[in-house]
Structure 1
């Protein structure tokens, strides 16, 4: 570009808008030694994202109105240049009609632009200040419509040019479905990562994967690359700083938790924030202390962060993290991009300048310049562009990286005859920087290796050795592979790392032996690179691998195992088969069995869909795709051979792995079901395989086993579980035969009878016999069978069920109470009131009576209001509310009620009216759309881009008149819509609808909203957010889940609701207190968590009293779910050793807000069945045909797999919030004190694997 030529400009003078003409705003605050200057702001600039400044002072600024104003699907982004002329900014629109511009880089006379899904080169060839040449270098860098979720995020972004001649381009986890470079090279990547490509669009390739949303890369003087990404909505993946290496994988979204051996570690990370664009400072200005530091903007934390890192081994570690700039008084400060100024002595900072993520119809944006004025500040030496070889050679040693890169590019463009001086410099120069840049200049454009390279990989300077190895690897100089292999033993880890990477890229089988010898390198980044090299070479010599596995022990053997995991190759399978058949080491054989089971299927090919911003709420990919008939046959043969050859204990281990190979496991397990020569555990394990597959041959064998009276009871029980989970006629006939047989043991009847009743296949005469059985266990089964009947069929059993309320067995009474509750047998009320006196039955009685509001049970409902279970409290409130006209007067007079119960009663006495008329609009594709509508006045005539980009308009929607429940199924089948947009099957929960109505108040008053929802929910009153529930998994719908205090102004008040798809029927509910009440929130049963937390932090408790509380199942019921050193329930984790891991404050928060930290292995699931039922709990047992769920009360629910329509990991703990709201402050402090005393670890338990 000829910058001296004429410009087509907009000169901002007179009445034109300027930065100074806008309303003045405060500046962000800077740390000591720094100053900040506002260069420009809206309307001069608008929606800025990326910035770049040339050494001549010309600013290129990317503008992204697509994502600030929308629509996000129309390519209306543009780039402007800003040039300071006599103190006035001159603005030129350099290029327009671009996609979402998120990255800029300058090389020679070309501006490279990252605007998904394109990487484009722009040039101004005629010097008029506007790009007149546009070449799309790479296409397909992301989804065809990157904004399918409503926002152009998680796409290609802030790229940087490396000394190796590549442009490094980060991309988010929407992935790269089908990228094509200018030379035809293609790339397809699931998830986020970093790719590289030449500035002309050639040599497109992947560098690193397994990242979430890296918004830029930063490159240091050693050519090492870094990224700073943001955390995900699971709050498991952190806002982290990453050192990126060629071939690196960092484990997002699944491996970093499930298989950390298949992921490289981050340098550092934290939950919270939103890391965005930055750089590594390698220029000559600022001060020496900043050399090699990383600077990244974080718009979530509203700061510019400085990371001081240092090399450690083959990677880096963090020395210090500090904030250079913070928002201070500027609430709207949202820094998105930091870049080095063109003078090499300042930092440019792009600020979105918005108080929230997205707003509409506005102009926002600021651009700042930061300067350093500390005592150690330096002034950079001049760095004129070289005009001859001598000047260029001199500049290779310049302290500024930009000057060195410019000199390198100049030398690459020279005739080969002039480059002999580069070889001389490489052999004689003392500057490491000069030698490294000379090396790349010498190699630029070559197709054959330079004769100096063998010498340079043995140079005394380790940095030069590493750089030479990089050159060899990038160019794949295979004639140097043998020399490179010697570098695997170099004393410097970074050299060993680059040697391994180079050998992997060259790909010669001759390198395998040397790489295997280096496989157990002590440095994790070297070891990773060695493994990756062997996987890239893909030359698997079975004999060699078997020898390695048999001869190694400990970590050395583990390194070979990690190498071979997830390598779907016939030769690898054969390796494990030979190890399984021939190893004398039982532990090694066990590893071989596991690896073979894992290799039977592979993961299905990526379909191009996105897993969303919280992939952990969805079902994780499972191995299900066949890949080799030879391998699968060989694996089955190996399992059969070892089942015959090994001990019973080893047979059990093999049989437990067989379900991994799918239904073929049945054929391998069947011979062992009836084999009486083996131990009972072997037969049990074989039957355990059969129950997991819906194959006729397996089902028939289960029927035979379950109904054969001579079979051991434990086997009959296990076989029966398979029949219970299978709804087929064969299974049902087997259950009927079992139930009708006169000698069937009670334990089998107890399992079979309820399921038969549920299937409506239990004859009435047999049920009558069961309800008169002498065995309490059979009686319980009969009562549970009545429980399964529809109400009209259950009426005839009412008298018999009520009689059992007086049975001598508490278990029978408990089952009878549950049946009464299920069918609301009114004649049971008097007896239930009597049964309340029995402590063991009290909670069941409360639950039953709450379904049948009666004045006979008012005292029982009041007792329920003091219960620790929030659901029980809600049910009792509902019962009292139904009786309010009869009991309100008496309740108001009561002075004997505890404060917690009194507050609950106040909620009962509230007069609430349902909101039944709404204007609704949607569906929208993402949660942040909420900020679009966070305003006090609605324009109902305005259309907005919907989930698929088509306009949507407001419509009227009616709620149910009795309870205010609004059902949103009219907005279509959202799962289908989500798939069409580009989400995967798990992620429709970001899709949402807005609802608006007016609440009228005669005067200013305090009011409350009673709300519920099936998914995430936000509520605004007069433009102010008053409520937010956020769980993308969804929740069980309850119409009065939460009570929200609000303030209404005289006249009409705007009420805005944003309802997300959750689970089950899409619905929300709103009721509001009547306007004749002025509500004092302090009198209502709102959360006492802040009070309890403050008291427990300030006051110690009594651990002995806390222990009594913990194990008091009536008061708190902690031990109902949790154990301490084995004592207590098994629903939640054992708390022994808890205090050794967590502080007192963390202990308090874990009790008050248990969902903030979910223990591994105790993450519950939430399910929706085909009948519309929504269930939540922990998965206890699961097979291919059934699932057992244990809920928060310890009850087990069995479901057939085919009944389950939706299954998601829940973000909510089974331990609900509000569980200790009924405790006094001192009782809570006592409980905290006891849990805080638990420092010893729980006893070890054997794995179920």
Structure 2
């Protein structure tokens, strides 16, 4: 066994799952004690488990004990690997691992055999806690750790940092995954980084305040750029969720990965538009859109003009490091691609950006995976001076959610061309000769390139740069360009040469340089505006909009409105009606310039709209476009796509007239496509956008009349369900109880009634529920179940009595009786009702175990204590104690039986809260890819201790209102008017904001503890075996 494999494991803290799982005697909660932590595979075995793509080989460079928990890496010009560690990870969630603080490690291969043989600590300090970005640039080591961006220096050359300089502060997300991370040096000499949706409020060294705010111009997560000293900080793009690391190619194109709401298979690669909005939070409100978050238009608002389209959806994942590979050591197909680490499925992937109109598209290739070892969690990638790729592996059972299982392991791998020696031969850096400087300047390693950049910027090297710029290799041209364009003597000539280059990527770059570093010439801009390539014209639009920054010369004077509007009109004529990237660029440039819409109208005053004009109208959506948009919607001779854009434009224009018009279209059943779209638009943002219009134009009256007359449609019922239109309950009740209503219609209406009844005092719905009770006697099982479901959505004395009577009737379906138990247990009075029934010995034997287990784990302490005395816990369902986790992991499970358990209500009952498909319940995270995201050990731990790691989107809250205390669940939706809370039974409470008296975060997961007590030991193993197959 290698030295790396012999490193002994430390004991991990209790809440990091060191312990034997036993059934506790307190409230039936599973406790953890004294299990030694162990990884799935030692480093050498883990290496053997890795699968690499054709033409590649992978080797192990370093492992524990030389490093632990690497979050980010960089490789310096000497070939040493610098590692940020995060042993003290999320201290609000677990105890501190190392009181001396986290470390920055330097790993070195001194003999060139491809293995680390020297490991030292460059920096360790109690203030260093789970940093998330590193860039080694000359004698500075830049580090990202909220709230700061700082650099470290070793001023006495002893290999240990002795000076720390904070250049920017105010990044939010301290001790949080969604903070500042992923710093990279760009070809322009600037630093690029990102901040997650915790946001920032930073004042840069020039005194400019740069900040995000909910509903503001910049919100959620951002991509940032700054100079090396922090004098000028800029937001390039915003409204992502948690982009981990931006990367910049030689031409100035910025790419970044973005994480989704966990489990929704919406992780993505974005091409960054300067000024782009990427759609995570709703425009203006800062809320999240409700609905099926597996749909692009729901998750990222991609159906809204003003939201950037996605370059590539990568699906399930926890995306981390990203780089552009410009080296030649790997197979030729990888040169110029993005190399990406995704810790969720455990993949290293490549993507080649392919021009797609004014933007890019891409396809993915998996370069490295580990199907046999789910602990492989790649956290970063970077190129060494020899052009090999180094990969950091967090190595853990899970990733994200502010949770880790292991604190002492971590690996660094090295990816090379297949068949070549594993030796790590670091080229020397020669900055004095032209040949040496050229070689360093073209290095794929950022640290070497930085040194060359500094040296080549000297005036004496201008001729070398000009030779590179005029060469045939586009990357050489690009890298030389960024220095020459910042040279007073050469910038104008270089810009003009670049604008006339045959390669579009060089011409796009020229526009960027023209905007940022060169006082503009109108002839140069005219040249770019008339370019045949849409990407060049797109960049002109973006620079027009983005050029009024204080850090740069103005590209297009906003004071000269006529010139700006002329340019915009010229560029808008080039829109082809299809290119979404180009259309969004027009929208960014047109912001604050209403003349763009007026010119559009003037040019098409009498002609019917086509897809081009309709698309521009949607993008601009100014009031001037309202009348012609109405005319277009009503012209049924036009393609529906054109009419759709016109109605969406009216929706975006807003105002009372627009609202009245959309409601009118919803009432027009003669045009079903437009009617369906109108209902969809009215439903957005929980109906808040058009609530006034719906009420003023009596939409409920129309729908109620249609329902009463038996003319309900899927669109109207979906609308009622989504917005919970309580005023329509009488019509729904009348229709559902009518003898003429078909079984299928009755089922759909009952589903709608259940959604409409926002849980509250029963008295609000007493009359309605009273009319439904006879349907509980229906012989149709689904009608019976739907009726019962509607009743459980209410709360009050009468409902508690109905549910209490129901659960003791053994002739009723057992699954529904158990649902009655869960419903009652979610309130203090309901829990008391259950306890009273137990005291009276009224609980039938077939559900007594379930009632007892439920009462022992309710959140109401006094009731829980009484329940433990009255109904002492059993050790497990079959009376046997659970063995240690290590033994559980060695047992083989039956996935088929596990699948059955997943869906059985009285056992695991996972399917009550979790879906494994694209639809289904969303009380808890979707588990369709859980086998990729978590190892078997982590799945066991999530079931046995659900409070250890809670997904951000399912953060539980305890809310007190004027009428009730202790409402618990996660917030599904919130705006200025209302908050929706979903509890562990899946019941939704709609709470007026004005009624809330207190709220606080809870550390208790909505997922109940003690789930294993409802299963045998083998059941638990089988369930985990099934979940582990979900990939």
Q: TM-score, normalised by structure 2?
A: 0.61
From 868, 875, 878, give the equivalent of 1:1006.
878
Give the counterpart of 1:544 among 594, 599, 605. Answer: 599
Q: 1:126: how far off?
A: 3.5
Q: 2:276 aligns to what?
A: 248
The answer as to 2:534 corresponding to 1:534 is no
Asked if 1:512 is matched to 2:568, the reply is yes
- 3-state DSSP class of the match of 2:308? coil
Quick check: 1:906 aligned with 2:846? Answer: yes
In structure 2, relative to structure 1, the CA distance for the partners of 1:485 and 1:187 (3 Å cut) is farther
Determine helix, strand or coil for the equivalent of 2:151: strand
Aligned position for 1:34: 57
Question: Is residue 60 of structure 1 aligned with residue 85 of structure 2?
Answer: no
Shift of 1:117: 1.9
3-state SS, counterpart of residue 261 of structure 2? coil
SS at match of 2:320: strand
Q: Give unpaired runs (5+ residues) of structure 1.
A: 1-16, 566-571, 601-634, 670-683, 693-720, 732-746, 752-786, 795-800, 802-810, 822-834, 889-903, 921-955, 967-996, 1010-1019, 1027-1046, 1048-1081, 1094-1141, 1159-1165, 1218-1249
Cα drift, residue 839 of structure 1:
11
Structure-2 separation of matches of 1:398 and 1:1183: 50
Q: Distance in 1 between matches of 2:386 and 2:617?
A: 52
CA RMSD of superposed structures (Å): 6.5
**CA shift at 1:103, angstroms?**
0.9
Whether 1:558 aligns to 2:498 is no
**CA positional deviation for 1:341:** 2.6
CA contact (8 A) 1:100 1:116 kept: no
SS in 1 for 2:571: helix
Task: Tell me if 1:1171 matches 2:963.
Answer: yes
Distance 2:242 2:534 in 1: 29
Q: Which residue of 2 aligns with 1:994?
A: none
Are 1:384 and 2:432 matched, yes or no? no
Q: Which residue of 2 aligns with 1:79?
A: 104
The answer on whether the counterparts of 1:884 and 1:909 sit within 8 Å (CA) in structure 2 is no
Deviation at 1:169, TM superposition (A): 0.3
Structure 1 distance, partners of 2:231, 2:275, is 19
Which of 382, 394, 399 is 1:339 aligned to? 382
1:386 deviation in Å?
1.8
Alpha-carbon separation, structure 2, partners of 1:64 and 1:850: 49
Task: Check the 8 A contact 2:106/2:120 in 1, yes or no.
Answer: yes
SS in 2 for 1:544: helix
| SS at structure 2 position matched to 1:214 | coil
Query: Partner residue of 2:541?
Result: 500
Residue 852 of structure 1 contacts residue 879 of structure 1 at CA under 8 Å; is this kept in 2?
Answer: no
Q: Number of residue pairs matched?
A: 789
Q: Distance in 1 between matches of 2:904 and 2:874?
A: 36
| CA distance 1:1174–1:46, change in 2 (3 Å) | closer
In structure 1, distance between residues paired with 2:321 and 2:539? 27
CA distance in 2, matches of 1:240, 1:1157: 19
1:144-159 → structure 2 map (5 Å cutoff): 146-147=173-174, 151-159=175-183
Tell me how far 1:337 sits from its aligned partner. Answer: 2.2
Evaluate the alpha carbon distance shift between residue 866 and residue 549 of structure 1 in structure 2; reply closer, same or farther with a 3 A threshold.
farther
Give the C-alpha shift of residue 467 in structure 1: 1.8
Change in 2 beyond 3 A, CA 1:461/1:668: closer
CA distance in 2 between partners of 1:837 and 1:411 (Å):
84
* Change over 3 Å in CA distance of 1:1008–1:171 after alignment to 2: farther
What is the CA deviation profile of residues 1177-1201 of structure 1, one whole-angstrom value per residue up to 9, with x for unaligned ones? 9xxxx99999999x9xxx9999999
Shift of 1:120: 1.6
SS in 2 for 1:452: helix
- Asked if the contact 1:81–1:94 (Cα under 8 Å) also holds between the matched residues in 2, the reply is no
Q: Distance in 1 between matches of 2:594 and 2:237?
A: 22
Structure 2 match to 1:1163: none
The alpha carbon displacement at 1:46 in A equals 4.4
1:861 is paired with a residue of what secondary structure?
Answer: coil
Alignment partner, residue 193 of structure 2: 169
Structure-2 change in CA distance of 1:128 and 1:236 (3 Å)? same
Find the counterpart in structure 1 of residue 120 from structure 2: 91
1: CA distance between counterparts of 2:577 and 2:762?
65
User: SS in structure 2 opposite 1:175?
Assistant: coil
Q: Structure 1, residues 779-812: CA drift from partner, whole Å, max 9, x if none? A: xxxxxxxx99999xx9xxxxxx9xxxxxxxxx99
Q: What is the CA distance between 1:104 and its match in structure 2?
A: 1.1
Change (3 A) 1:397 1:282: closer
2:45 is the counterpart of 1:49: no
TM-superposed CA distance for 1:157, in Å, is: 0.8
**1:25 corresponding residue in structure 2:** 42
Match of 2:257 in 1: 228
Report which stretch shifted further, 525-534 or 548-557: 548-557
CA distance in 2, matches of 1:411, 1:389: 10
1-side partners of 2:804 and 2:632: how far apart?
72
Cα offset, 1:128, TM superposition: 3.1
Pair 1:181 & 2:204 matched:
yes
Does the 8 Å contact 2:852/2:873 carry over to 1?
Answer: no
Tell me, what secondary structure is at the counterpart of 2:365?
A: strand
SS at match of 1:174: coil
Deviation at 1:334, TM superposition (A): 3.4
Q: Deviations over 1:1030-1052 (max 9, x none)?
A: xxxxxxxxxxxxxxxxx9xxxxx
Name which of 145, 148, 162 aligns with 1:118. Answer: 148
Distance change (3 Å), C-alpha of 1:599 and 1:36: same
CA distance in 2, matches of 1:667, 1:849: 33
Q: Secondary structure at the match of 1:435?
A: helix
Q: CA deviation at 1:497?
A: 3.0
Higher RCO structure, 1 or 2 (CA under 8 Å, sep 6+): 2
Distance in 2, Cα, partners of 1:882 & 1:391 = 86
Change (3 A) 1:251 1:849: closer
The answer for unaligned runs of 5 or more in structure 2 is 10-40, 213-218, 282-287, 290-295, 547-554, 558-563, 637-641, 704-719, 735-759, 792-797, 826-832, 906-914, 929-956, 1012-1031
Question: Aligned partners of 2:682 and 2:850: how far apart in 1?
Answer: 59
Contact 1:851 1:879 in 2 (8 A): no
Measure the CA separation in 2 of the matches of 1:880 and 1:464. Answer: 75
Offset, 1:213:
1.1
Summarize the alignment of residues 917-928 of structure 1 with structure 2, pairs less than 5 Å apart: none
Structure 1 position 471, deviation (Å): 0.9
Does 1:461 pair with 2:484? no
| Cα distance in 2 between the residues matched to 1:463 and 1:95 | 43
* Range 317-326 or range 111-120, more displaced: 317-326
| Structure number with bigger Rg | 1
Counterparts in 2 of 1:357-376, with a 5 A limit?
364-375=408-419
CA gap of 1:223–1:1198, structure 2 versus 1, over 3 A, is closer
After TM superposition, the structure 1 stretch with the greater mean CA deviation from structure 2, 94-103 or 353-362, is 353-362
Work out the CA distance in 1 between the residues paired with 2:975 and 2:346.
48
Displacement of 1:195 in angstroms is 0.8
Measured in 2, the distance between the counterparts of 1:85 and 1:528 equals 52
In the TM superposition, what is the alpha-carbon distance from 1:659 to its structure 2 partner? 13
Match of 1:409 among 444, 454, 463: 454
| Secondary structure class of the residue paired with 1:440 | helix
Per-residue CA deviation, residues 67-92 of structure 1 (Å, 9 max, x unaligned), is: 26677899944434344567852524
Alignment of 1:463-862 (within 5 A): 463-475=505-517, 477-480=519-522, 482-505=523-546, 506-508=555-557, 509=564, 510-520=566-576, 522-535=578-591, 538=593, 540=595, 543-547=598-602, 550=605, 553-565=609-621, 572-573=622-623, 575-576=624-625, 686=697, 851=801, 861-862=809-810
Q: Aligned equivalents of 1:38 and 1:294: distance in 2?
A: 22
Whether contact under 8 Å (1:78, 1:101) holds in the other structure is: no
Give the TM-score normalised by the residue count of structure 1: 0.51
TM-superposed deviation, 1:491: 3.6
Q: Give the conservation status (yes or no) of the 8 Å contact 2:256–2:272.
A: yes
| Closer/same/farther in 2, CA of residues 910 and 1007 from structure 1, 3 Å limit | farther
Deviations 1:838-883 (A, max 9, x none): 999988899999948999x99x933313677863698999999959
User: CA 1:348–1:554 in structure 2 vs 1: closer, same or farther (change >3 Å)?
Assistant: same
CA distance in 2, matches of 1:867, 1:666: 38
2:479 corresponds to which residue?
437
Q: Structure 2 vs 1, CA of residues 512 and 308 (structure 1 numbering), >3 Å: closer, same or farther?
A: closer
Choose which of 135, 155, 160 in structure 2 pairs with 1:105: 135
Say whether the 8 Å CA contact 1:191–1:211 is kept in structure 2: yes
**Are 1:292 and 2:336 matched, yes or no?**
yes
